[in-house]
Amino acid sequence: MYLSFFRLLERQPDRMGIKPGSSTFATPPETDPSPGLFSVTRILPSIYHDREWQRNSVCQDPHTSPGLPALTFRGELQGFWRAKFLFYDFDMYRQILAGNMRGVYTGTFSEQAAEVEITETIVKIRQDELGGKGPMLFAGFDVDDDEDGEAERERIMSGYGHEVWDGKDEEDEEGWTKEILISGKARTSWGAASLRGRIRAWDGLVIMAIKYDVSGSCQ
């Protein structure tokens, strides 16, 4: 559903509320020089379709489907990315806070470019501790606005209280599994920021939270 939503935004921007001049989503895909999320001129290699087919076949029902192996998407996010993200126009954000839940799906949206450097850290973890203990808005991490971004990145790369996997191909002990934690830096027009998150083992969903260094309350 998430990818379908963004495909709708990209190919039919007139059906969503995009603030004029704020987004390249308003440019038709056939004239936009960037390939976008769903390219109309390039065919993805078969391996990507195979992985998506595997995900669809084993992640249909959270109660009965087995889900993917824990490290299916290992190495997929590691590295340097140039990206863009949507955020709610300020007036629409106020309307949502006032109870206009339709605006959550229809916008109005604005867009911002970002440059992100991501590091993956694989930890050994108990199955009942997957996803972290903190709020989802903080990607399962502790709510600590006073912690320095660099210090938190080092804590995540050190395992965040868990043992870091040494890369050996070994069977997990009963009740244990592995989880991919994400840490990194981001540069946007709003300033420098630190990034933290995790890849949900069951279906590969990426959960990320960004915190701007200039203000711990700006999440």
Contacts 24+ apart (CB under 8 A), 187-193: 187/114, 187/115, 187/116, 188/112, 188/113, 188/114, 188/115, 189/112, 189/113, 190/112, 190/218, 193/149
Identify which has the larger pLDDT, 21 or 104: 104
When pLDDT is cut at 50, 70 and 90, the band that residue 10 belongs to is: low
Q: Take residue 181 and report the two structure tokens written for it.
A: 């934690």
In the chain, the N- to C-terminal Cα span, in Å, equals 24
Residue 88 is assigned to a structural domain of this protein: yes
Residue 20 is assigned to a structural domain of this protein: no
Residue 12 is assigned to a structural domain of this protein: no
Residue 50 is assigned to a structural domain of this protein: yes
Residue 131 is assigned to a structural domain of this protein: yes
Residue 122 has a pLDDT of 95
Cα 101 to Cα 89: distance, rounded to the nearest angstrom = 14
Residue 146 is assigned to a structural domain of this protein: yes
Compute the half-sphere exposure of residue 33: CA atoms within 13 Å on the CB side of its CA. Answer: 0
- The domain tally of the chain equals 1
Where in the sequence is the domain holding 187, given as residue range(s)?
A: 44-212
If you average pLDDT over residues 97-126, what whole number do you get? 85
- Model confidence at 209: pLDDT above 50: yes
If you average pLDDT over residues 177-184, what whole number do you get? 94
Q: What is the pLDDT of residues 119-155, one digit of tens each?
A: 999 999 999 898 888 888 888 888 866 677 788 889 9
Q: What is the pLDDT of residues 53-77, one digit of tens each?
A: 888 899 888 889 999 998 988 998 8
- Model confidence at 219: pLDDT above 50: no
- Model confidence at 8: pLDDT above 60: no
